[in-house]
Amino acid sequence: MSARFFSPLGSDVVKAIFLVCLADGLVGISYGSLAVAGGFPLWVPLMLSLLVLAGASEFLFIAIVGGGGSPFAAAAAGLLVNARHLPFGIAVKDLVGSKGMSWLGCHIMNDESVVFGISQPTHEKRKKAYWLCGAGIALFWPVSVIAGAYIGQFIPDIKAIGLDAVFPAILLALIFPALRSRRTRIPASCGALISVAAVPFVPAGMPVLFSLLGLLTWRNRK
């Protein structure tokens, strides 16, 4: 995919996508380090990063199996966490491509690519943003997992240096400008409160679905 193909997106969107991919890469370093420190051979987190490409499910898998749980239970938990991809798939059904390309388009679907995809003003820009972000993360994630596995040999507890906090910090920095608008700030704040309130009662990865209820607070307003 050439730079010319993505040029209509504008430098600000491309820069934001790059920062998100970089932040995902830092999380991947944390994941690779934790997996190796937990006794997994490198091929396990690497294959998961290539074939699953879903960070929450991958973290959950190594946590359950590393704690003595069944790989089948870990896989089932991962499917539950990724249940949010069902509404995601409906939202981006016209962005994933057709025929053979749709398989790849669905594989690179994640929270970030969906957000960048649906937030663009035209269909052309939505599709290009979706693919740029999805493909970028699909590249950054496995490479960072390998780097994390190597780093983990020297720093068993990657959380000690705070890399696990980089991803949410960058996301907050990206959304702050949008929160200046009252139309965005009220639904976002309500969605965040609903999501936090749901955390004790639903499995990991599900609260984000409940945050969508925040959109109802502005449904009928002008």
**Residue 147: which of 8, 17, 20, 24 has the closest Cα?**
24
Which residues have a Cβ under 8 Å from the Cβ of 36 and sit 6 or more positions away? Answer: 42, 45, 148, 149, 152, 153
Residue 104 vs residue 205, higher pLDDT: 104
| pLDDT of res. 222 | 47
Question: Quick one: average pLDDT of 12-37?
Answer: 87
| pLDDT of res. 163 | 59
* Joined tokens for residue 124: 């052309």
Helices (H) and strands (E) in the chain, counts: 12, 0
46 vs 36, 149, 155, 173, 198, CA distance in Å?
A: 11, 9, 19, 29, 32
> Does residue 5 register a pLDDT over 60?
no
Go through the chain and tell me how many residues it has.
Answer: 222
pLDDT tens-digit profile of 136-172? Answer: 999 999 999 999 888 877 765 656 666 556 556 655 6
